[in-house]
Structure 1
Amino acid sequence: MSLLDIRNLTVEFATAAGPFRAVEGVDLTLEKGEVLAIVGESGSGKSVSMLAIMGLLPWTATVTADRMAFEGRDLRELSPAQRRKIIGKDMAMIFQEPMSSLNPCFTVGFQIKEALRQHTDLDRKARHARAVELFEQVGIPAPERRLKAYPHQMSGGMNQRVMIAMAIACNPKLLIADEPTTALDVTIQAQILDLLLDLRRRNGMALALITHDMGVVAETAERVSVHYAGQKVEEQPVEGLFARPFHPYTGALLAALPERATSRRLPTIPGVVPGQFDRPAGCLFAPRCRHASDICRARRPEPLGPEMGRGRCHTPLTADGNGVMQPQRMVTT
């Protein structure tokens, strides 16, 4: 039994101009102790998908799924009180914007101890000791003094570390990390990633890592899920994805890495992720894809099998006789 099992997740937001589908038909599984990286440009629905699983989307969002299970329990059938016993304890999330996630009216120490008070049996003295220990783990200097600080009295990087400490406070079984090291310098980034991976080894914690940093993906993840415009377009083990990307979008992302550049000019992907009013009739990536044909622009692709990375594409990339990835026509007009 998978730790997390999501099938056909769809999220729609009610807007003045009509409903906007931010996530469409996403499947996701995560095993105990596994590290899954979720990558894609801003606007690809990565964070929205994870917030839907956590039950943290606003009332304007409508979440539907064929299955949404954590440890075999259907999250859709839990009452708010039952869900609160899981969220923050067994399932935790490091949010992308710490300054908007921490409460400015309370000290950071109060907020991390509140999480411990809600989800553990520790007494007041033990909660304080645990908070100090957590601050030391995430590299916050002078933790006794920092516990008394308010969010506005700390830098963005320090607040990011507070969010990480709060997320790991109860040793969750699943940690969703949304760009956890964005506001941190390179040295601290490495320390935080090492800490998360150490927690995974010691506690069997599963980690869903949302990131734009393909270097982090290559070093930490076991499996990669590539998202684009609300859809999952490819999913592969990390070694296979870097060696043989099947979807043209994945290939374009990897080609844009500086270390893979073959000329002085770095390759880019033209255009932007489609929004509410400019979604194409066919493949969502077709307007930006150099391999797109008429069928790509006219018809939505169906998900392919695992041998093609479970992607959505009419012309997935396959290796030719020289090992070069070339588009392969899967359908005819």
Structure 2
Amino acid sequence: MSLLEIRNLCVEFETRGGAFRAVDGVSLDIDPGEIVSIVGESGSGKSVAMLAVMGLLPRTAHVTADVLRFAGRDLMRLPARERRRIVGREIAMIFQEPMSSLNPCFTVGFQIGEVLKTHLGLGRAERRARTIELLGAVGIPDAERRLSAFPHQMSGGMSQRVMIAMAIACNPKLLIADEPTTALDVTIQAQILDLLVKLQQERGMALVLITHDMGVVAETAQRVIVQYAGQQVEKATTRELFRDPHHPYSAALLAALPERATTKVLPSIPGVVPGQYDRPQGCLFAPRCAHAFALCHAKAPPPAGSELSEALCHTPLVGGVPVVPGAAA
């Protein structure tokens, strides 16, 4: 049985201009001990989808789903108190900005201890010992001295390690890492990714890695979900996606990797992800797609099925060549 099951997840925000659908029909299964990456540009709804799972969206958000189940429990129907017992203990999340996610008014030791007190009910001495153990586990030297440090006294990489320590404090079954290497230099990025994979393997957690970096996906994930403008446009094993992407957006993301560049000028995707007021009538990617034809601009593609590598596209790519409906074989 899947650890996390999502079917047709939608998130709408009420705005002055009307309802805006930030997540539109996302479906996902995550098995215990699996690493799944959700990839796409900023504005693709990656973080919003996972915040909906966590129940951390503001009141202006309206969340619907045919299925939203964790470890056999229906998250849509659980009372708020029961859901709070799960979030932070069985499902944990590492947020994008460690410097703004940590409270500047409290020490690192206090903030990790608060998690242990709330979810595990540990006493003061037990919290201190466990916090030192966690800081050591995430590679922070002189862990006992760091207990009294405030966030501003730590570097970005160290702050991110503190966030990871907080997230794994209760040995969660599912860890969601939202852009865990944002604003870190390249060497620290590699260390943080290695640490996450190591902890995932040691503790048997499922790991959802939200990123826009296809290089990170190639190094860590077993399966990939590609999102664009709130929609899930392709899902595949990592090997299959890198070998033969079926959606033009997936192919464009891969083509922009420096190591895949065949010209002196690095390829890029023209335009931007559509927002509330500039959404096209047909396929949301059509204005930026090099393979779009008349039908793409006029009509939205049919929903993708559940099979791996099936793309939300009128002209899916096969071997890098678009397959146009009605074209001769």
**1:1-333 matches, cutoff 5 A:** 1-305=1-305, 309-319=309-319, 325-330=320-325
Aligned-pair Cα RMSD in Å: 1.6
| Residue pair 2:157, 2:188 contacting (<8 A) in 1 also | no
| Residue pair 1:33, 1:207 contacting (<8 A) in 2 also | yes
Query: Following the alignment from structure 1 to structure 2, what is the Cα–Cα distance between the partners of residues 199 and 170?
Result: 13
1:167-219 CA distance string (max 9 Å, x none)? 11111100000011223333333333233223322322000001122222111
How many Å apart are 1:90 and its aligned residue? 0.5
The farther-off stretch of 279-288 and 78-87 is: 78-87
How many Å apart are 1:291 and its aligned residue? 0.5
Give the residue type in structure 2 aligned to 1:278: D
| Residue pair 1:160, 1:183 contacting (<8 A) in 2 also | no
The farther-off stretch of 182-191 and 211-220 is: 182-191
| Residue pair 2:237, 2:308 contacting (<8 A) in 1 also | no
How many Å apart are 1:308 and its aligned residue? 6.7
Query: Following the alignment from structure 1 to structure 2, what is the Cα–Cα distance between the partners of residues 330 and 231?
Result: 22
| Residue pair 1:246, 1:308 contacting (<8 A) in 2 also | no
| Residue pair 1:174, 1:207 contacting (<8 A) in 2 also | yes
Per the normalisation by structure 1, the TM-score is: 0.94
How many Å apart are 1:306 and its aligned residue? 5.2
Point out where structure 2 has 5 or more consecutive residues left out of the alignment: none
Identity %: 68
Is the partner of 2:270 in helix, strand or coil? coil
Query: Following the alignment from structure 1 to structure 2, what is the Cα–Cα distance between the partners of residues 108 and 205?
Result: 24
Is the partner of 2:325 in helix, strand or coil? coil
Is the partner of 1:77 in helix, strand or coil? coil
Give the residue type in structure 2 aligned to 1:98: P
Point out where structure 1 has 5 or more consecutive residues left out of the alignment: 320-324
Query: Following the alignment from structure 2 to structure 1, what is the Cα–Cα distance between the partners of residues 313 and 235?
Result: 13
How many Å apart are 1:164 and its aligned residue? 1.1
How many Å apart are 1:250 and its aligned residue? 0.3
The farther-off stretch of 26-35 and 298-307 is: 298-307
| Residue pair 1:249, 1:289 contacting (<8 A) in 2 also | yes
Per the normalisation by structure 2, the TM-score is: 0.95
Across the two proteins, how many residue pairs are aligned to each other? 327
1:8-42 CA distance string (max 9 Å, x none)? 00000111111111000000110000000110000
| Residue pair 1:304, 1:310 contacting (<8 A) in 2 also | yes
Query: Following the alignment from structure 1 to structure 2, what is the Cα–Cα distance between the partners of residues 210 and 218?
Result: 13
Give the residue type in structure 2 aligned to 1:167: A
Query: Following the alignment from structure 2 to structure 1, what is the Cα–Cα distance between the partners of residues 298 and 163?
Result: 45
Give the residue type in structure 2 aligned to 1:107: T
